[in-house]
Amino acid sequence: MKKIIIIASCFIIAIITGFVLMTFRDAGEFKILQPHSKYKCVKIANIPSPEDIAIDHSTGLAFISSSDWRAAMKGEFHQGAIFSYNLEGTPVLRNLTADLKIKFLPHGISFYAAPDGRKYLFVVNHPLPRNCVEIFEIQKNSLVHRETVEGKLIISPNDITAVGPRQFYITNDHGSSSALGKKLEDYLRMSRSNIVYYDGAKMRIVADGFSYANGIWATSDGKRLYAAATTGKKFYEYERDADGNLKPYSQLDLGTGADNIDVDAKGIIRIAAHPKMITLLKYLGSKEIQSPSQIVEVFKNEKGGYSFKETYLNIGDELSASSVAAGYKDRLLVGAVCENHFLDCRAVK
């Protein structure tokens, strides 16, 4: 009997050890990183957690979401903000929501230019314990709050892409709303997150089965939609019809924890990523720990599918945990999950 217990115990330990090693491998913890960059960057400081960036390419005005995520993870609320940063003039940070009366903890954002000339900024908001979407109209470099959109399908919203003055897609990065449920999804790599479409009146799930759905981007012609999965480490492309339905078209294994997606005026697709995801979790718990930053460019290959190339990799000393890489002409703005600065970069010629 004692021998059976010993054998069973060894078997259980072996299974647990194997699971832990597999988890660390899949999270990229055994990767050997070789930092490099095609950019020369300067740090733009004094902006808490510049997690997402959207650019108006007609004016060069960048919009940056800012929230104290470390405080939020502890259950503390600090009013967040949307900052502007002028890429065509004096590059000074300006708080556009200093007088906003609603509870505001912005996350993913999306710029939308309507056919009638009006411009909007859509913002995922986490006014704890609720989740919603705020719609602002952009007027003379200021934000006018127009609407708050709520719904039962907005469970754990992360990113957003606008396709009309009141229409948008969001990613739910988890299918669970509880902290325990989210942890189980992450560590067991459960594919329970989804994409939700709001047509201006109703919400519906239009794609699901993702492992931590994160970045999302609709093309300017409205015919294609891109999505990224963090723990799934994938890039997805969908065909989009006039009713907002999505049809899977292609996918690409990135081999890294994909975060937000940006497409610049030239059509270059950039994805900020987390090459070591358990290190990222440690970083979220302590600002003393660095988490690597990575940028990849996704492009069509000769076979008609997609390939990618890495254009930036840093161990975290210049910027930890990159979350977005937004391009404008020869400039690149790189945001981060919990840093107190972002990077303003130029390509090295």
CA distances (Å), origin 167, targets 65, 122, 170, 174: 20, 10, 10, 22
Could you count the other beta carbons within 10 Å of the beta carbon of residue 227?
Answer: 27
Listed in sequence order, the residues at least 6 apart from 89 whose beta carbon sits closer than 8 Å to its beta carbon are: 60
Q: What is the DSSP letter of 167?
A: -
- Beta-bridge mates of residue 295: 272, 312
174 a catalytic residue? no
CA distances (Å), origin 278, targets 123, 213, 296: 28, 17, 20
At 20, give phi and psi (nearest 5°): -65, -45
Per the CB < 8 A criterion, the answer to whether 215 and 159 are in contact is: yes
Per the CB < 8 A criterion, the answer to whether 46 and 73 are in contact is: no
Structural tokens at position 67? 């929230």
Per the CB < 8 A criterion, the answer to whether 295 and 267 are in contact is: no
CB-count burial class (<10 Å; 0-12, 13-18, 19+) for 100: middle
Listed in sequence order, the residues at least 6 apart from 293 whose beta carbon sits closer than 8 Å to its beta carbon are: 272, 274, 312, 313, 314, 316, 318, 319, 320, 321, 322, 334, 336
Catalytic residue among 36, 57, 107, 145: 107
Catalytic residues: 107
